[in-house]
Structure 1
């Protein structure tokens, strides 16, 4: 995979690069999971190696932990950190109120715990992740393996009374076997098409026996950095009600990071 980055990768990089500038020396930083969050980890690693940035990173998955160590970030557990200054993560969807659907990478449980234990949560995303109403992306819910089919049936029955367009649910697979999270659980993907009341959905789903957590992040995100393929970044602060536009410059070299494609 050599050569120029695609527009979507440039958008992800632009958002990650701008969000990385929010990280200051000495911070305890939650590190998200997924393709956009991977750009963020690499940006922070570059700052650690080249600028002497000193941070402690709390990863939200084993994959992120491995990448963070690879790029030189000091990795600690959430129990060691106790509380975080900032968490930066991607999202599968976000709406105008900065409510999110997360969990496409299968790390929603750790991602939500880490985000909730932070003074600030920043979402980095390309512009295609913004939606008017959540639900086009399947909503993941993490369930314990014991009796998962019974849990699935209960979920489908409950969906009848909720404001959604679709009610199909599927067990996430990894080849011929169920996908297993870092916590040893399964994931059910809910194909809802539209979620009319995300807050109600999150509360109702989490009350069901067998459900560990859902992928709706309500009132958790503080700031979103939206990247575009030309380097533009739009920053929306839900608390200040502000929108700022900036531009990230790309270095036109064969590879943006020399180790990215090794």
Structure 2
């Protein structure tokens, strides 16, 4: 375990820099923890580290450009992606997407050799779903149909709003935040939601994280996925 600073996100970001090597292509996640990592990475770039970034959202892309990180696309081989999560269970399954970037986050993670997740200890849960809603991204055309089908699954979908209008993702879709409660079968629920025509993606990220770095009080600890 390593000691943290008074800012747990800054401590997580600094710790994650240890996974980055000169010349790497790094997936840049979205959200507060990922934003802290982008700031920390940019400081290393200014000190001479040579890396390229692949952003998971337009917001992250803007931040990285402002801070001087060179950006590339998915044609590059991504060594690792550093991102955050909203919930993490004991098997390192995740709920993501409260920032609205779940589709691109999944694509960049899938294109990466490794995914490192940065969280504070309050994001650790025994069972996914008990801490907050499950985001589901859907095509605007399919909103009424998807709402009914999500309700048929026992979910309680609420359209995510921004300034009294539906929140629009970087992919020009909308998001239902679904009250789910504790999810007994995450894989089964993911399959059922993905089977709905018009659903683009869900916030369930199962088996994607290789390592979760946790800021827990005044220490940093790592959780590593067990490989079969």
Q: TM-score, normalised by structure 2?
A: 0.94
Q: Deviations over 1:59-80 (max 9, x none)?
A: 00000001111111111122x3
For residue 52 of structure 2, what is the aligned residue in structure 1?
56
Change (3 A) 1:9 1:176: farther
Alignment partners' CA distance in 2, 1:102 and 1:46: 27
- Superposition map of 1:88-237 within 5 A: 88-136=82-130, 137-159=132-154, 167-230=155-218, 232-237=219-224
Q: Runs ≥4 in structure 1, deviation > 4 angstroms?
A: none
Number of residues of Structure 1 aligned to a counterpart in Structure 2: 224
How far 1:9 moved relative to its partner? 7.2
SS at match of 1:46: helix
Alignment partners' CA distance in 1, 2:5 and 2:13: 12
Alignment partners' CA distance in 2, 1:9 and 1:154: 45
Q: Structure 1: any 5+ residue segments left out of the alignment?
A: 1-6, 160-166, 242-262
Alignment partners' CA distance in 1, 2:7 and 2:144: 41
For residue 85 of structure 1, what is the aligned residue in structure 2?
79
Q: Deviations over 1:213-246 (max 9, x none)?
A: 001000110000001342x1101111369xxxxx
Q: Deviations over 1:165-185 (max 9, x none)?
A: xx3210000121100000000
Q: Structure 2: any 5+ residue segments left out of the alignment?
A: none
Change (3 A) 1:211 1:9: farther
Bigger-Rg structure (1/2): 1
Q: TM-score, normalised by structure 1?
A: 0.82
Q: 1 or 2, which has the higher strand percentage?
A: 2
Q: Deviations over 1:150-177 (max 9, x none)?
A: 2111111023xxxxxxx32100001211
RMSD over aligned Cα atoms: 1.6
Alignment partners' CA distance in 1, 2:30 and 2:38: 9
Alignment partners' CA distance in 1, 2:162 and 2:56: 20
Contact 1:10 1:229 in 2 (8 A): no
Alignment partners' CA distance in 1, 2:37 and 2:68: 13
Alignment partners' CA distance in 2, 1:145 and 1:153: 14
Alignment partners' CA distance in 1, 2:66 and 2:6: 21
